Amino acid sequence: MKIFKVIALLLGGVLPMWTQAQTWWVEFSDKPSAPVFLFQPERMLSLRALQRLERQGLSPNHLDVPVEKAYLEAVADRGYRIKGRSRWMNAALVESVGFPADLADLPFVRSIRPVQSLRVALAETRTTFDYGSANDQIRLLNGDFLHLEGFSGTGMTIAVLDAGFVGADVMMAFDSLRTEGRLLGTKNFADSSSTVFAVNGTHGTSVLSTMAGLMPGTFVGTAPRANYFLVNTEVLASESRAEEYNWLLGAEWADSAGADVINSSLGYTTFDDTATSYSYADMDGNTTVVTRAADWAASRGILVVASAGNEGNSSWQFLSAPSDGDSVLAVGATNLLGGYASFSSRGPSSDGRLKPNVAGPGAAIRYVLTNDQVTSGSGTSFSSPIVAGLAACAWQAHPSRSAWEVMKAIEQSGSRFANPNDSVGYGIPNFDMVNFFLSTDQVANLRYGPNPARDFLSVWSQADGVAEMIDVRGRLMLRWDLWQNLPSSVDVSDWPSGVYFLRFTTPSGTSAARLLVE
């Protein structure tokens, strides 16, 4: 006899009854076709997605294998509508009036649990930009240095998981996005009957403008030359755990389509049905569906950037899912002078990890309305995409780096890296330094590059110490003091070509690196 586990909401020990269609999460036991797909990965992932994995030394694995087609057909044959499927969780969203008991008899079904109803919402070359009213928010992060070097997002792909994108299909701010073919696709997981441009408001449109907006002299976003996918996962008429499953499906779709970066200006804590609300204890990086989905996306080589939340002045106070993920770059908010914005959700995660990771401009920042007028607004909904766009630009400059390396470089560039706190994490990123960090090698507390060096060698340390350059014969070529977070440069233009050793000594120990002077 098959042992079958049903995870359900119990009211007084009785499985609740529904008289209207309810959505159920049906998990399957295995993926019998996995060997076939893993042998021919092009059958399950786009070329863009495969190239992203290859750049980071990753390989397609079991997470990438789609849900078994025969299993889905068996569910459909029993008269159930399949509303979505998740290859990462090997499951499907199935619509049914009442508990789908006959699915429990299928030998490949592992578990079934209810999901609150998914209600439809009725409800480059070197470039100098005139940023217009976006000037302060970009320069606070030194993003203009990236743009000046010609890195404005070209070739990078950002998936925006959000609410509606009403107006984005006609706004002048996105003219170049459309005419240059950089709007690669859209998907609506919250309302399968409508396009992303027709429902669920303009929150996604506003978020998109901070990255993709391009009206020189009026407003320029942080990644104005990047490619974009627009994914609607949010339902404005309600707040329920169903939206987490929408997010999961949206992230899987973005992954298979080849997105490099996901921006999520969404957060989940409490719901309309208070019995399903989370507590702070659930913000541990492993509990919520949306956080697990975000970490899975990161494991596939995607940089996931998420708003920390706007609960700093509320009774909740703390961060929201999925920003609690250990592989998620959680972004808090500051004002345009760099001070902490009090509404920004605080950390740490409930298991004690530093959160948010960093903070960006989110108070009184500028974005574009559907009538192409620029206005001001506040929220981590804006600080997250502003950072995400510049992260894409930095990654464009160093495509061989992994998403994890990009994330760590952003953290290390933070204004409070040596003294992080629970309000802004490592502080405000400096994307000029992010570019430097990604172009250098690292040992212990030291970064150095380029390697090989021709004219000069740049060195940056995370601690006070003494640096020494030694040739292959053991002769000391140069010794100098290094101060924490203060880069220095060594002229090697007249040094003999060959191998040298860079030794760095601090009170806690010594590290050494091998480098080449050409």
- The percent of residues above 90 in pLDDT, for the chain, comes to 65
Among residues 384, 460, 487, the alpha carbon closest in space to that of 429 is found at 384
Indicate if the pLDDT at residue 155 is higher than 90. yes
Is 415 within 8 Å of 430 (Cβ atoms)?
yes
Q: How many residues does the chain have?
A: 518
Res. 492 pLDDT band, cuts 50 70 90: confident
pLDDT score, position 485: 75
pLDDT band at 7 (very low <50, low <70, confident <90, very high): very low
Tell how many helices (H) and how many strands (E) occur in the chain.
Answer: 13, 24
d(CA 386, CA 367): 10
pLDDT of residue 116: 59
Q: For 135-438, which CATH class?
A: alpha beta
Do residues 333 and 343 touch, judged by C-beta distance below 8 A? yes
- Residue 2, pLDDT score: 29
pLDDT at res. 18: 37
C-alpha 295/C-alpha 297 separation (Å) is 5
Q: Phi/psi of residue 249, each to 5°?
A: -65, -35
pLDDT of residue 367: 97
Whether pLDDT at 401 is above 50: yes
* In the chain, where the domains are located: 5-115, 135-438, 441-517
Q: How far apart are CA 60 and CA 45, in angstroms?
A: 9
The answer to whether domain 441-517 has CATH 1.10.3720.10 is: no
Share of the chain above pLDDT 70, in %: 94
pLDDT at residue 121 greater than cutoff 50: no
Whether this model's pTM surpasses 0.85: no
Residue range 149-175: mean pLDDT, rounded: 96
More confident call, 441 vs 62: 62
Task: Provide the angle, in degrees to the nearest 10, between the axes of the packed helices 242-257 and 47-55.
Answer: 80
| CA–CA gap between residue 437 and residue 433 (Å, rounded) | 6
Average of per-residue pLDDT values in the chain: 89
Q: Give the model's pLDDT for residue 469.
A: 86
pLDDT in the model for residue 126: 55
Distance of CA 218 to the CA centre of its chain: 28
Beta partners for 310? none
Confidence class for position 448, pLDDT limits 50, 70, 90: confident
Secondary structure of residue 1 in the 3-state scheme: coil
Please name which of 63, 31, 67 lies closest in space to residue 49, comparing C-alpha atoms: 63
Per-residue burial over 348-377, b = 16 or more CB atoms within 10 Å of its CB, e = otherwise? bbbeebebbbbbbbbbebbbbbbebebeee
Closest Cα to residue 305, out of 410, 378, 171, 217? Answer: 410
pLDDT at position 369: 97
Of 152-156, 267-271, 410-414, which range is least confident? Answer: 410-414
CB 445 within 8 Å of CB 503: no
Question: What was the pLDDT predicted at 19?
Answer: 43
pLDDT at 17: 38
Q: Helix 403-412 crosses helix 431-438 at what angle (to 10 degrees)?
A: 130
Question: Given the DSSP bridges, would you call strands 498-506 and 509-517 parallel, antiparallel or unpaired?
Answer: antiparallel
pLDDT of 457 above 60: yes
pLDDT band for 449, please (50, 70, 90 cuts): confident
Q: What is the pLDDT of residue 510?
A: 81
> Is pLDDT at 32 greater than 80 in this prediction?
yes
Of 126, 118, 231, 212, nearest to 171 (Cα)? 212
Answer with the residue of higher pLDDT: 425 or 478.
425
- Tell me: pLDDT of 304 over 50: yes
| pLDDT tens digits, 137-148 | 999 999 999 999
Give the pLDDT score at 20: 58
Give the least confident one: 154-163, 210-219, 237-246, 508-517.
508-517
Most confident of 29-38, 112-121, 259-268, 435-444: 259-268
Smallest CA-to-CA distance from 317 within 276, 279, 362 is with 279
For 465-488, give one letter per residue: b (16+ CB within 10 A) or e.
bebbbbeeeeeeeeeeebeebeee
pLDDT at residue 424 is higher than 80: yes
Mean pLDDT in residue range 440-455: 80
Specify the range with the lowest mean pLDDT, choosing from 315-324, 339-348, 404-413: 404-413
Structure tokens that stand for 335 in this block: 């004002």
Residue 209 has pLDDT above 90, yes or no: yes
Q: Which residue has the higher pLDDT, 191 or 50?
A: 50
Query: Across residues 108-116, what is the average pLDDT?
Result: 84
Please state the rounded mean pLDDT for residues 208-235. 97
Quick check: 124 pLDDT over 50? Answer: no
What average pLDDT score do residues 102-113 get? Answer: 89
